[in-house]
Amino acid sequence: ALAVLPNVPLEDVPVGKDEHDNVVKRIVGEVPTRPNWVKEHFEIGEALGMMDFERAAKLSGARFTVLKSQLARMERALGQFMLDLHTTEHGYEEVIPPLMVRDEVLFGTNQLPKFEEDLFFTPHGDGRLGLIPTAEVPLTNLVREEITAHEKLPLRYTALTPCFRSEAGSAGRDTRGMLRQHQFYKVELVSITDQESSIAEHERMTQCAEEVLKRLGLPFRTVTLCTGDMGFGARKTYDIEVWLPGQNAYREISSCSVCGDFQARRMDARYKDKDGKGNRFVHTLNGSGTAVGRALIAVIENYQNEDGSVTIPEVLRPYMGGLAKIETK
């Protein structure tokens, strides 16, 4: 019965009902005046002949996309750029984890038992394996049922993985384009800390995710989620919302949460206290650094030109053979 009760918010989390009660923490970058020729990402992608929703639907049904040519290359470039930034400058260790996990692993990061309908499962042996909805699941569970030496903390892991979500309960939301998919790539950040360091680590992790958008030259804002909009396992969450000119709106591209010992208790993950006297539960944090598909959308919409071409952000050009612009073949 306890397993379906959510985590307790920290004292400084704003109390509220839904996303309207979230509090803007900071705004970075100017939101430019919107010229009348601005289009949404799917219009641009289809006109370039590099984003195909019809064929994707033929293969798999709704909420799938086929990316081709230079947009496929740019999606790959974005993932590489994010991984390189987090591993070389932010101190994260790269991991390639399994994409299918056991039920007890999904329990550890609180997808089960409450959010089973959001997941895809595949039969395996006498049981089943769940497809990961986020790399938070395997990365956080790396310390499950283990006692980590205090001097090894913090552990910082990053992974670029596909993520799989049934999107139950999202009927009619973001039905056009690539915003809400059953399958998408994401670069995840996970930190395992001692009990004293988790709050500071939360600020640090959020800044690591923000740095991705700063280097890409994308306008964004960071908001503190109120109690009514927070996830099940979080004690405090910052959402980073990137500006999408095509939608004329800020949309979530990253969510960074500190979970305290909520997941650690479910995973039985501990560390040896400094003086070695006893074992304490670790604190866990996770954040997107960032969703790759949504970063692609943001680049397409913010770097679009009136002639339908898309300028490639400077930081991505080394990953794209020096190409400066995507245009129709």
pLDDT above 80 for 74? yes
Residue type (1 letter), 239? D
Q: How many CA atoms lie within 13 A of 145 on its CB side?
A: 2
Percent of the chain with pLDDT over 70: 100
Percent of the chain with pLDDT over 90: 95
177 within domain boundaries: yes
2 within domain boundaries: no
Query: Can you tell me the distance from the alpha carbon of 95 to that of 104, in angstroms, rounded to the nearest whole number?
Result: 20
Q: How far is CA 265 from CA 33, 71, 108, 254, 322, in A?
A: 49, 42, 8, 25, 48
Query: Mind listing the pLDDT tens digit for each residue in 141-163?
Result: 999 999 999 999 999 999 999 99
**Range from 37-46, 124-133, 273-282 carrying the lowest mean pLDDT:** 273-282
1 within domain boundaries: no
pLDDT above 80 for 329? no
pTM: 0.97
Whole-number mean pLDDT of the chain? Answer: 97
Question: Region 263-284: what's the mean pLDDT?
Answer: 94
Query: Mind listing the pLDDT tens digit for each residue in 210-268?
Result: 999 999 999 999 999 999 999 999 999 999 999 999 999 999 999 999 999 999 999 99
Going by pLDDT thresholds of 50, 70 and 90, the confidence category of residue 2 is: confident
Question: Region 170-185: what's the mean pLDDT?
Answer: 94
State residue 275's pLDDT score: 80
Could you tell me the CATH number of the domain that includes residue 92? 3.30.930.10
152 within domain boundaries: yes
Other beta carbons within 10 angstroms of residue 174's beta carbon come to 14
Going by pLDDT thresholds of 50, 70 and 90, the confidence category of residue 276 is: confident
Determine contact, residues 294/242, Cβ cutoff 8 Å: yes
pLDDT above 70 for 21? yes
pLDDT above 90 for 168? no
State residue 274's pLDDT score: 82
Beta strands (DSSP E) in the chain are 23-28, 51-52, 66-67, 93-94, 100-101, 121-124, 127-131, 147-148, 155-164, 183-193, 220-224, 236-244, 249-258, 270-272, 279-281, 283-291, 310-311, 325-326
- How many domains does the chain fold into? 1
State residue 201's pLDDT score: 99
Torsion-angle region of 83 (φ positive above 0: left; ψ -120 to 50: alpha; else: beta) = alpha
Residue type (1 letter), 108? G
| Residue 17 domain boundaries | 9-326
Instruction: Please report where in the chains the tokens 């709704």 appear, as a residue.
Output: 62
Which residues partner with 272 through β-bridges? 279
Active site residues: 165, 180, 252, 255, 294
pLDDT above 90 for 133? yes
Go through the chain and tell me how many residues it has: 329
3 within domain boundaries: no
State residue 1's pLDDT score: 66
Tokens of residue 231, six digits: 């996830």
Rg (C-alpha) for the chain, rounded Å, is 20
Determine contact, residues 282/271, Cβ cutoff 8 Å: yes
